[in-house]
Amino acid sequence: MRILITGGGGFVGSRLAKAMLQKGHEVIVLDKVKGELEGFEHKNMRMIIGGVEDEKLVKEAVTGCELVYYAAWSFSEKILDGFKIDVLGFLNFMEACCNAGVKHVIFPSSSVIYGEPTAVPISEDHPLLVEKSRAPVHAVTKLAVEKSMAIYYKERGLPFTIFRFWWGFDDDRIPGGTLRKIIDSALKGEALYVPKETSGSILYMDDLIRVFEIASLNERAFGKTYNLLSFNITWKEILEMIVELSNSKSKILEVDPSEWKGPGFLTGKWILDDNKLRKELGFVPNEKLAREAFRKALKKTIESRMASL
């Protein structure tokens, strides 16, 4: 099968690309940069350098593809750029998909679209309070894309599936500037501050790949939105793990959430409810395996920061 992966040079897209190549699929990657695919070559992969805003390139990339993993995203903090690039680029892309006869589009979305948890765990029907999000531009553009998918499915017959997750990692590293700063502070022996009782649902990229395979061209997944996670963890647990793995002398100090002045990523209880995914697609993550992989990836991330300091 020929699969198009937009944003294939990014963290999620590149892992999907490599996994699908291993499964024997033909993969077309569309991205503005090679990114995490720099230096990687495969006889069944074709890399097209460009963005989803480029109508000619999009038409070329999507030709002959049955399935699309849409992982392209600018992460712009400017609302005008967010709509110009992410929303209009997506609409341009969807028009090309309809014309090319694409059979299914799968979109890795974000829990940021929920804005602010009003109930925990967070189910898919939780209010989408994008204006209250820690990243409102990211949230509102994700919302625009998700709603547009529903319209294209209803009016043009192009099936979609959406997976919302909080924070992902793979076997080699755990991405995120906030985490890197915490690790650097721990390596210096500085105090580590964290809001009390904050937590989130972590996603192992192996689980994302597994569920994308299950959902691909699966009519049971058409028109559906699912929360996706591997396991739940508190930020205090993560900091304790960092101190242990780095042999740090840092003390962990908890702060009342009302007095927190630090990164927004450390706030809230981002515990996702994945019962819908379990019931409808039969996907159950291997929590023990994912937790072990997270610990190993955290150690590698710490070692990488050690080398850079």
Q: How confident is the model over 267-278, as pLDDT tens digits?
A: 999 999 999 999
- The answer to whether 278 and 219 are in contact (CB under 8 A) is no
- What are the domain boundaries of the chain? 2-167+203-227, 171-201+231-308
Examine the pLDDT at 164 and tell me if it is beyond 90.
yes
- CB neighbourhood size of 119 (10 A): 11
Fold of 171-201+231-308: UDP-galactose 4-epimerase; domain 1 (3.90.25)
pLDDT digits (tens, 9 = 90+) for 218-252: 999 999 999 999 999 999 999 999 999 999 999 99
**β-pairing verdict for 104-110 and 167-169:** unpaired
Retrieve residue 123's tokens. Answer: 């189910």
Q: Specify whether domain 2-167+203-227 bears CATH 3.40.50.720.
A: yes
34 Rama class: left (phi>0) / alpha (psi -120 to 50) / beta: alpha
**How many angstroms separate the CA atoms of 159 and 97, rounded?**
11
CA of 183: how far to CAs of 176, 186, 189, in Å?
A: 11, 5, 10
Q: Binning pLDDT at 50, 70 and 90, where does residue 153 land? A: very high
pLDDT at position 99: 95
> Confidence band (pLDDT; 50, 70, 90) for 79?
very high
Residue with the two structure tokens 């969807």: 94
**Residue 171 pLDDT > 90:** yes
Confirm whether 2-167+203-227 and 171-201+231-308 share one CATH topology.
no
pTM of the model: 0.96
Query: How many helices, marked H, and strands, marked E, lie in the chain?
Result: 10, 13
pLDDT per position as a tens digit, 206-217: 999 999 999 999
Over pLDDT 90: what percentage of the chain? 98
Residue 108 tokens read as 């890795």
What pLDDT shows up at residue 156?
97
pLDDT of residue 59: 95
Of the candidates 283, 139, 141, the one whose C-alpha atom is nearest the C-alpha of residue 221 is: 283
Q: Is the pLDDT of residue 293 over 90?
A: yes
